[in-house]
Structure 1
Amino acid sequence: MKKILLAGLFAGMLVTSCSKENPFQVTATQVGPLTKETPVSDLKTVFANDSVVDQNSGLSEELNINAIEIYEKGGKQLLSLMPVKEGEPKTIRTVQIFDPRYTTEAGINLNSTFKDLTDAYEISRIETLISSVVVFVDDINAYFTIDRKELQGELRFDMEAKVTEAEIPDAAKIKYFMIGW
């Protein structure tokens, strides 16, 4: 009887530990504990163990600079959040990820390469900017920025050139990882 009870207790603990949510999981609808429905007013509760730096006051609000930054205790930046400007309650519009622990279900994070990204997801579109290329993945509401320095030959310097998926090297590193709702 004791063995059955111990086996049941062990199985219960195993199920509980396996079902705990990954605090750094990125999906189309969440970044860690955040969702697009998370009110800005709840951020200090959601990130109770971290520092929430809200720059939405005084001059920054007048200039429309409204980033909310999340730092781990100890100073490492985790996220930068841009709230929706209109409506109540205010929620999050975009999330910039600074910590490579934030990872998609397919294993994509800030340490991934372009090949990792294309192996995991279908690229929706690519936009060429002056100093970077932005790769959109609509399946997870994400976009990834790759520095032009990662491109080959003339594409590095030709600001007019439209970069295609085939022209981005497999080894190109992701510079920025953002989720937009």
Structure 2
Amino acid sequence: MKRILFAALIASVLFTSCNSEDKFAITATQVGPLTKDTQVNELKTLFENDSVVDQNSGLSEELNVNAIEIYEKGGTQLLSLMPVKEGNPKTIKTVQIFDARYTTEEGINLNSTYKDLTDAYEISRIETLISSIVIFVDDINAYFTIDRDELPGELRFNMDTKVTKAEIPNDAKIKYFMIGW
């Protein structure tokens, strides 16, 4: 009887640890338990141990202007989700990562640098914005924002200059990490 209980305990621990890892896994088709087919009405079940804050009500629901935010019990924000504007049932269009535990198979998370990103993935394109640059990685349907303050002098202040892959410092930190389906 003790052996059966011990085996059940070990199986339970292994199952829980596997689930824990999957909870923060990012691939081209998932962010933790979310996929592009996840319906908004499933979020409270998927994040049953967390807080789901859906500010989409009234006029904002019709326009889908407000994100759905996921907070860990205790207040730490995990994710911000933007639902698709049209279609029924509503699914998730973009996911903004707020917690560094969410990590890609190649080890990229919010604590990664530009060098980490280029070592792990092929950069698809770079868009230069007024206060930041956006780096697209099509392999995982992701885009990463780096603040212009991370760039060398003239690139930091010249808003008309298009930034290339080679001009971004290796130690530039990722400011935002988003998945878009």
Fold similarity call, TM over 0.5: yes
Asked if the contact 2:108–2:117 (Cα under 8 Å) also holds between the matched residues in 1, the reply is yes
The alpha-carbon distance between structure 1 residues 10 and 46, as it changes in their structure 2 partners (threshold 3 A), is: closer
Q: Which whole-Å CA distance do the structure 2 matches of 1:39 and 1:152 have between them?
A: 43
C-alpha displacement of 1:61: 2.9
Are residue 70 (structure 1) and residue 73 (structure 2) matched? no
Matched residue type, 2:146: I
Question: What is the CA-CA distance between 1:31 and the residue it aligns to?
Answer: 0.3
Query: Structure 1 vs Structure 2: percent identity of aligned residues?
Result: 77
| TM-score, length of structure 1 as denominator length | 0.90
Partner of 1:100: 100
**Where do 5+ consecutive residues of structure 1 fail to align?**
none
Cα RMSD (Å): 2.3
Structure 1 stretches of 4+ moved >6 Å? 8-15
Pairing of 1:1-181 with structure 2 (within 5 A): 16=15, 19-20=18-19, 22-61=22-61, 64-181=64-181
Change (3 A) 1:14 1:43: closer
Take 1:152 and 1:124, find their aligned partners in 2: how far apart are those partners?
A: 22
- Counterpart of 1:149 in structure 2: which amino acid? D
After superposition, the C-alpha distances for 1:1-47 in whole angstroms (9 at most, x for unaligned) are xxxx9xx9899678756754521000000000100111000100000
Q: Alpha-carbon deviations, 1:61-117, whole Å to 9, x = none?
A: 355413100001111110000001111111000000000000000000000000000
SS of the aligned residue for 2:116 comes to helix
Point out where structure 2 has 5 or more consecutive residues left out of the alignment. none
